[in-house]
Amino acid sequence: MTSVAVTSRSFSRNPVLRDELLERYPNTTFNDDGLKLAGDELVAFLKGHDRAITALETLDAKVFAELPELKVLSKYGVGFDMIDLGAMTKAGVKLGWSGGTNKRSVSELVISFAVQLLRHTPRAEREVINGTWRQHVGRQLSQRTVGIIGCGYVGKDLAVLLRAFGCRVLAHDILDFSDFYTEHAIEPVGLEDLLQQSDVVTLHLPIDNSTRNILSAERLALMKPDAIVINAARGGLLDEDALKAALTEGRLGGAALDVFVMEPPEDQELLELPNFIVTPHLGGSAEEAILAMGRAAIQGLDDNQVPEKGIFPKGY
């Protein structure tokens, strides 16, 4: 009988997803203890199962080598940077993956960050809590210039929403989405031009050697002193130390990070800045997104293929 292991804590806690998965695969092991699985503990949890649903767990060549019985790995969520796809291909393990399942959840969070930072609500809230009642004059998101770095599923969804605010939307991507840009009046530009012109810069990229620290200290210095930067994609896309320095010295207006190089983050000085918003990697944690990601992962147990460079998954 086919056996399935679910490493994700949020999937395992969701009664709807549990019932739908058990209806299809009765022999399923859930992460009911809420364990953060890694290394040997992850291998032990997956041992004896021929299919698995994973989320943010790291699956490398060593893990695949120790799980010869694993035939299918279905991804709960859209990112696959935590999976060694090359090792997966060598092991002959098939991948179930669907892109864009949480795009609206992330897009709405980004818009909420932009509005909060432009209206100085993080600073104002802290002042009120500490006994100071003072109005701050901010700026509307409407009519602002917003630069989107990475125009995949989330980037496209966000661009359309921003156009409804009357924003001028700039986009930078290594791929050509000219039809989409034309249809929605999006302006494709180089990275440096985007940084120099934008009031709001938001990152929507996978993390790899070509994107790591794409917003370096030098590139952050290109931004307007009252501009804001948002990262709700992957930790490591920007230099967190350089960001803290720019915020502290008044060279940037504000920042919001939902993701970090190390999670949870340990830089208390950064977290306590009045022009900074921090959230605990919850971009895809809307009820609707959880169901969409979970159902896609369940379907991926049946619809899957061995990863192939340049073909599947999209972006590999």
- Give catalytic residues, as residue numbers: 234, 263, 281
**Cα–Cα separations (whole angstroms), residue 14 to 78, 134, 296:** 18, 42, 14
- One-letter identity of residue 149: I
Helix extents (H) in the chain: 9-13, 15-24, 39-46, 61-65, 85-91, 103-118, 121-129, 153-164, 178-184, 191-197, 217-220, 240-248, 268-271, 287-300
Provide φ and ψ at 147, rounded to 5°: -105, 125
Task: Give the distance, in angstroms, between the CA of residue 147 and the centroid of all CA atoms in the same chain.
Answer: 17
> Which two structure tokens, joined as six digits, stand for 56?
């943010």
Q: Residue 59 pairs with which residues in a beta bridge?
A: 83
Q: Which residue has the tokens 């001028």?
A: 168
**Cα–Cα separations (whole angstroms), residue 36 to 24, 84, 103:** 26, 19, 25
Q: Which residue has the tokens 């056996």?
A: 3
* DSSP annotation of 216: -
d(CA 169, CA 145): 6
